Amino acid sequence: MILLLFLLGFVFAHALTLEQALEVSTKNNINVRLSLIDLQKAEEQIRRARAGILPQVSFSYSFTRFDESLAFGFTPKNRHSFLLEVDQTVFNYAVFEGLKLAKTQKELQELVYQDVLKEVEFRTKELFYALLYKKELMRIGEENLAFWEENYRTVEGKFQAGVLPKVELMRAKAQLESAKAQLELLMSDYKKSLEDFRSFLTLREEIEPKGSLQEQRLKEEAYEELLEKNNSTLKVATKTLDVLEMSVKVQEGQYYPSLELFATYQGSTSRRNPTGGTELIDGYTVGARLSYKLFDGFAREASIAQARLDLQRQRENLKQLRVQLYAELQKTLLDIRYISSQLKALELSLQSAKESLRLSTERYRFGIATQLEVLDARNNYNNVLQNYYLTLLNHNIAFAKLERLTR
């Protein structure tokens, strides 16, 4: 009854399957949204890098009024001047490599986005499976309460008939109140977990997870090859290495000269002779500009050395990450195999505990067993059942982790 009243609060709640939860989380989660923003920034960075190879056009205009004491000779009293300039990079190794770097950084950000998605999906499954587990605990608590309610009615009837002493009635009452308190605790824990899940999904409306924990079968596949091929975290680390390799090339571009072409159209008001009038004098210029940094106080060498050290560091990080992921994969596979065998053992233990509870209940009903014997049998049955669902929870999370590592 308590659980029924509790569930009435979810009458208008939206039933949410795991697939729907995954869809909502990958759309609403803050980390996913931030990663999308970073991806947009990477696209803009490509546009910025591409600007280095496109023509640069500038225009300037100035007006100067000279004092009478300065406006003499060829200088007019009011002077107007303008400059229109076009510059085009012909060769700049750092700029060209910088554009390649920006494109590679966008590819990296796309991989980061996919990695964030997979991590959010894994976290969603963890939270969703935990809610299903706690729903099962509430169901067990409700069954336990119903059992002790029936037991109290039986003991009360025997007490009124003078068959049992008052201490037995008090013990039955205490056990009933304990079952009620335990169910209240389970419902409170479930409600708090549900609020955490809603917060994770960034949802305001009431939701109720739909589904049940299911046993899964491990397929015989080349999981190490799948990890190397599909693991998103490994892909991010590998692409980061590519980015740092290109960063070294960009820094090394300082050793190369740069060549630019330029053309200008400029003019200003002036006098062609001291006694003549003011007129606009304009014209065109074209040329080439070759630049090379001869010495900068070894700043160039230092920046290249730093880029190479960053690259070396990432190589070491990639090696360590690969070792960690392979170890995590092996541990996950071992966990799945052990948990699968444990589930089989628990299924047998559950059948035994259920039968033991049935026999103890019947024996007590006929006055052969004591209430303490029934209490022990019921507690043993509840513990085995809770342990079974906890193991089933770990089983599902282990498969979610395997998918996170290899898909």
**Which is higher by pLDDT, 271 or 231?**
231
Tell me the mean pLDDT in the region 352-370.
87
Is pLDDT above 70 for 5? Answer: no
Q: Which residues are 291's β-sheet partners?
A: 258
pLDDT score, position 83: 95
Q: How confident is the model at residue 125 (pLDDT cuts 50, 70, 90)?
A: very high
Is pLDDT above 90 for 396? Answer: yes
Asked if residues 213 and 133 have their Cβ atoms less than 8 Å apart, the reply is yes
User: For residue 61, which phi and psi values (nearest 5 degrees)?
Assistant: -140, 145
Local structure of residue 223 (DSSP, 8 states): H
Q: How confident is the model at residue 60 (pLDDT cuts 50, 70, 90)?
A: very high
Is pLDDT above 90 for 7? Answer: no
Q: How confident is the model at residue 6 (pLDDT cuts 50, 70, 90)?
A: very low
Residue of 245, 252, 249 whose CA lies nearest to 313: 245
The mean pLDDT of the chain is 91
At 267, is the secondary structure helix, strand, or coil? strand
User: For residue 203, which phi and psi values (nearest 5 degrees)?
Assistant: -120, 145
Instruction: Give Cβ neighbours of residue 179 (< 8 Å, ≥ 6 apart).
Output: 141, 144, 145, 147, 148, 149
Tell me the mean pLDDT in the region 243-263.
94
Q: How confident is the model at residue 73 (pLDDT cuts 50, 70, 90)?
A: low
Is pLDDT above 80 for 290? Answer: yes
Q: What is the pLDDT of residues 203-228, one digit of tens each?
A: 888 999 999 999 999 988 899 999 99
Is pLDDT above 70 for 394? Answer: yes
- In the chain, the amino acid numbered 225 is E
Is pLDDT above 70 for 11? Answer: no
Q: Cα torsion for 113, 114, 118, 121, to the nearest 10°? A: 70
How many helices (H) does the chain have, and how many strands (E)?
Answer: 9, 6
Q: What is the pLDDT of residues 143-159, one digit of tens each?
A: 999 989 998 998 898 88
- Please give the C-alpha separations between residue 313 and each of 197, 252, 303, 306, in angstroms, as whole numbers: 38, 18, 15, 10
Is pLDDT above 90 for 1? Answer: no
Is pLDDT above 80 for 240? Answer: yes
Asked if residues 245 and 311 have their Cβ atoms less than 8 Å apart, the reply is yes
Identify the weakest region by mean pLDDT among 113-117, 231-235, 361-365.
Answer: 361-365
pLDDT score, position 276: 64
Task: Give pairs for 191-199: CB < 8 Å, separation 24+.
Answer: 193/127, 193/130, 193/131, 193/134, 194/131, 196/127, 197/127, 197/128, 197/131
Structure tokens at 221: 């596949």
Share of the chain above pLDDT 70, in %: 95
CA distance 360 to 44: 73
Residue 56's region, left for phi above 0, alpha for psi from -120 to 50, else beta, is beta
Q: What is the pLDDT of residues 161-190, one digit of tens each?
A: 888 888 988 998 999 999 999 999 999 999
Is pLDDT above 90 for 375? Answer: no
pLDDT score, position 382: 92
pLDDT score, position 235: 97
Tell me the mean pLDDT in the region 115-142.
96
pLDDT score, position 109: 97
Tell me the mean pLDDT in the region 351-363.
90
- In the chain, the amino acid numbered 200 is F
